[in-house]
Amino acid sequence: MNRGFYTIMAAQFFSSLADNALLFVAISLLVAMDAPASLTPLLKLSFVLFYVLLAAFVGAFADALPKGRVMFIANIIKVFGCALMFFTIHPLLSYAVVGFGAAVYSPAKYGILTELLPPEKLVPANGWIEGLTVMSIILGTVLGGTLVSERGTAFLLSFDTFASLGLTTGAEAAMAVVVGIYLLAALFNLRIPDTGARYEHQERNPATLIADFANCSATLWRDKLGQISLAVTTLFWGAGATLQFIVLKWAERSLGMPLDKATNLIGVVAIGVALGAAMAARMIPLRKSLTVIPMGIVMGLVVTSMVFVHSVTVAYPLLALIGFLSGFFVVPMNALLQHRGHVLMSAGHSIAVQNFNENLSILVMLAAYAVMITLNLDLDIIIVIFGLSVAGIMLLIQRRHTLNQREHDSLGLIGEGKH
């Protein structure tokens, strides 16, 4: 990996760190407002909304400018969204603006990898990305939980710097820390090298962009390799976002842990994902990426066992195992999807299609979870429904791949160059 790759990784790490810390600051603001419990998962829903609404446009934007510049603009948008919370704008709206910046950021973040690296390095590169992203989730979750805790608030307000800026509450000080991290990520964005990749003039007519996006989406779903990898990653991100809130609720109800302590469990899942991602990066070459599908089935079944756990001692290894299985199967699938997208269309457009599907899955699964919480459905029932749904869908994806292979052996397409 060259130096430009590590600069991209640093920028991604700090941007994701701030995203995850801000989530828990926003949750604490909702708690302080005595907001209904159903609004908590809607925070994440508001964050991913623009991934779906802007999917037809952000890919073209990412391909219209050097990717580093796009990432810098996106981080400035995130700073603006975070700053809105200082002016008592509702957390759902403020976090949605941050999500707008994240939607702009994502096609450039992943698209630049296919410009910078050859196909055989995409699995290791995705191992790096997932590993550092998970590390940012771990540290961001712990940081967010620490910032909103009583000890964290007291520590921040003990600094005269915050008082001199007119920040008198713990929430304001916490948001100032998050803004600082976003600005640090933006500085790294400015150091990302120009890969020299240039695409044909990008269309600006909204109707044409939507039609082009629909064509790209159909192309990826028709591709025998693209449809399988896209289905897996779509399920993974929807399930991962929902599991985050299920774990927080489960920690409160089954383990008796407050929010600032429950965030440690999210970190444990993230550690498992990092280990699984690292092992997959070392063990699974791109041509063998589809062999990891059974891991997703096992992961869904393991999730259902959470209903039998009421001990923190057992909870930690169980959640680490769930994370490990998740990281092991998603990294090869993500690399395969990036490769097929790059072969079939431009980097920015393929990532935009990926983001649309993955975040539509997040919207649907979080909305379903919010409805179940509103209906006061027992948490154990929610966990079982969630786990069996993941395992069942992964089984259907595996069967679809088997049928595809019977019709035509498409594995030879893995690793081919762009037409």
Among 188, 187, 189, 165, smallest CA distance to 176 is for 165
Domain boundary (152, 167, 202) is at 202
* Residue 116 · residue 5 · CB < 8 Å: yes
Q: What is the Cα–Cα distance from 197 to 216, expressed in whole angstroms?
A: 20
What was the pLDDT predicted at 57? 82
Q: Domain check: are 141 and 210 in the same one?
A: no
What was the pLDDT predicted at 419? 44
- The encoded tokens of residue 291 equal 């062999």
Q: Domain check: are 410 and 330 in the same one?
A: yes
Q: Domain check: are 174 and 225 in the same one?
A: no
* Residue 337 · residue 119 · CB < 8 Å: no
- The encoded tokens of residue 47 equal 């964050």
Q: Domain check: are 1 and 86 in the same one?
A: yes
What was the pLDDT predicted at 363? 85
Q: Domain check: are 228 and 149 in the same one?
A: no
What was the pLDDT predicted at 381? 93
What was the pLDDT predicted at 335? 79
Question: 């700090």: which residue's tokens?
Answer: 14
- Mapping DSSP onto H, E and C, the string for 328-349 reads HHHHHHHHHHHHHHHHHCCHHH
Among 38, 40, 44, smallest CA distance to 96 is for 44
Domain boundary (154, 182, 202) is at 202
What was the pLDDT predicted at 362? 87
Q: Domain check: are 253 and 377 in the same one?
A: yes
Q: Domain check: are 275 and 364 in the same one?
A: yes
Question: 């580093």: which residue's tokens?
Answer: 68
- The encoded tokens of residue 373 equal 């919480």
- The encoded tokens of residue 347 equal 């980097």
Q: Is the dihedral of CA 280, 282, 286, 290 positive or negative?
A: negative
What was the pLDDT predicted at 389? 92
Q: Domain check: are 225 and 365 in the same one?
A: yes
Q: Residue 263: give the domain boundaries.
A: 205-418
Residue type, 271: I
Q: What is the Cα–Cα distance from 278 to 402, expressed in whole angstroms?
A: 27
**Residue 392: partners with Cβ closer than 8 Å, 6 or more residues away:** 300
Q: What is the Cα–Cα distance from 249 to 242, expressed in whole angstroms?
A: 11
Helix intervals (H) in 158-286: 160-164, 170-189, 206-222, 224-254, 259-283
| Phi, then psi, of 379 in degrees rounded to 5 | -60, -35
Q: Domain check: are 291 and 176 in the same one?
A: no
Domain boundary (202, 227, 254) is at 202
Among 95, 342, 9, smallest CA distance to 197 is for 342
**Residue 307: partners with Cβ closer than 8 Å, 6 or more residues away:** 380, 383, 384
What was the pLDDT predicted at 91? 87
Helix, strand, coil % (nearest 5) of the chain? 85, 0, 15
**Residue 262: partners with Cβ closer than 8 Å, 6 or more residues away:** 145, 247, 248, 251, 252, 255
CA distances in angstroms from 158 to 46, 83, 153, 162, 163, listed in the order given:
33, 22, 9, 8, 9
- Mapping DSSP onto H, E and C, the string for 245-262 reads HHHHHHHHHHCCCCHHHH
Q: Domain check: are 291 and 303 in the same one?
A: yes
- What letters, b where the CB count within 10 A reaches 16 and e where it falls short, cover 372-393? bbeeeeebeebbbebbebbbeb
- The encoded tokens of residue 127 equal 């191992």
Helix or strand or coil: residue 141? helix
- The encoded tokens of residue 143 equal 């940081």
The total number of structural domains in the chain stands at 2
Q: Domain containing 100 — which CATH number?
A: 1.20.1250.20
Q: Please work out, in degrees rounded to the nearest 5, the angle formed at the alpha carbon of residue 399 by the alpha carbons of 293 and 355.
A: 55
CA distances in angstroms from 324 to 92, 163, 251, 328, listed in the order given:
31, 43, 19, 6
Q: Domain check: are 48 and 143 in the same one?
A: yes
Q: What is the Cα–Cα distance from 277 to 320, expressed in whole angstroms?
A: 13
Low-confidence ranges of the chain (pLDDT < 50): 416, 418-419
Q: Domain check: are 402 and 261 in the same one?
A: yes
